[in-house]
Amino acid sequence: MSPARPNPGFGPAALADQAHVLRTRVGACWPGARAVFRGQDLHRDLAGASSMDLFLYGITGRRFAANELRVLDGMWALTGYPDTRLWNNRVAALASNARSLPSLGFAAGIAASEARVFGGGPAFFAIDFFLRAGARRHAGDAVENIVAAELLERRRILGYGRPMSSTDERLPPLVALAEREGLAEGLHFRLAFDVEQALLRRKPFLKLNYAGATAALAADLGLTARQYQLYNVFKTLLGMPPCIVEAAEKPEGTLMPMPCANVIYEGQAPRSWSERGRARHS
């Protein structure tokens, strides 16, 4: 989410050093022989690994325990809403209804999921907060002091509050999942609820939401903000396939059409288009 910075090491010498060779630590494949995934033989050493196991191993370079993978998998499943009205599902469904390729619909929907105000944006900033707040809490700082300092410096704490409803229906099953898998007592997950109480004393609608709770769990699992951002890319993916399938079954162009009468235009009033005006604009 941070802006790209110029690379001071980039130049002709650096380009020449990298020409004709790809230096990599993450893996390679030799068609007809084998494939290596982060130093492990994909078909031998990683045989039997689940998709989530391999996905997180690719992001972090470490293997997660079975209970941790169940929580990470559940964090996706609990928010897989097949509702075409949701912004990212709508993008994917509109692409499908326009007879575009499913891959393009997925790509567009996933890109829309990275919104700064909702979706991927709040999740990224939420884990950034929890990692910093967790360090301060571990050092003995009071939750009230942590919240006050964060609000003074940044004015808000993402992961709290929800535009449509102050109650997040995904939290009870998420808490139950974390408790069942023995991950509900982590520093950051407990801190998430303590911060909620501090915020509720200020504004009663600032309840913990799903972005905040899942970011706290990810922090307890040792993910950095960047690693969590990569994991989080597909957190809303599971709701898209049903929307794409259904949209493709509808006649082309009929998915959620909006009559022109519903468009409220507040721009310039209609203007006359004279011969002189046409000449100026030709």
Could you read off the pLDDT of 10-44 as tens digits, one per residue? 789 888 888 988 888 999 999 999 999 999 999 99
Per the CB < 8 A criterion, the answer to whether 160 and 205 are in contact is no
- Hey, what are 19's tokens? 């020409």
Mean pLDDT of 98-121: 90
What's the whole-model pTM score? 0.85
Per the CB < 8 A criterion, the answer to whether 127 and 219 are in contact is yes
CA distance 210 to 224: 18
**CATH class, 120-232 region:** mainly alpha
Domain boundaries defined on the chain: 34-63, 120-232
pLDDT tens digit sequence for 137-176: 999 999 999 999 999 999 999 999 987 788 899 999 999 9
Per the CB < 8 A criterion, the answer to whether 213 and 192 are in contact is yes
CA distance 102 to 242: 12
- Hey, what are 51's tokens? 């998709």
CA 106 to chain centre: 14
Per the CB < 8 A criterion, the answer to whether 115 and 87 are in contact is yes
Mean pLDDT of 259-271: 87
> What value does the mean pLDDT of the chain take?
91
Residue with tokens 């721009």: 267
Helix (H, G, I), strand (E, B) or coil at 29: strand
Question: Which residues, in sequence order, are bridge partners of residue 35?
Answer: 29
Query: Is residue 277 predicted with pLDDT exceeding 70?
Result: no
pLDDT tens digit sequence for 215-262: 999 999 999 999 999 999 999 999 999 999 999 999 999 999 988 889
Calculated CA dihedral for residues 177, 180, 185, 187, nearest 10 degrees: -40
Element spanning 41, H or E = strand 40-41
Helix (H, G, I), strand (E, B) or coil at 153: helix
Tally of helices (H runs) and strands (E runs) in the chain: 13, 3
Of 38, 67, 89, 125, the C-alpha closest to 235 is: 89
- Hey, what are 172's tokens? 């009870």
Maximum Cα interatomic distance, the chain, rounded to a whole number of Å: 76
Residue 179: per-residue pLDDT:
98
Which stretch of 12-26, 34-48, 51-65, 78-92 has the lowest confidence by average pLDDT?
12-26
CA distance 162 to 212: 11
Burial class (CB in 10 A: 0-12, 13-18, 19+), 195: buried
- Hey, what are 119's tokens? 């979706």
DSSP for 102-125 reads HHHHHHHHHHHTT-SSSTHHHHHH
How far lies 96's CA from each of 38, 82, 100, 107, 258, in Å? Answer: 35, 14, 5, 12, 17
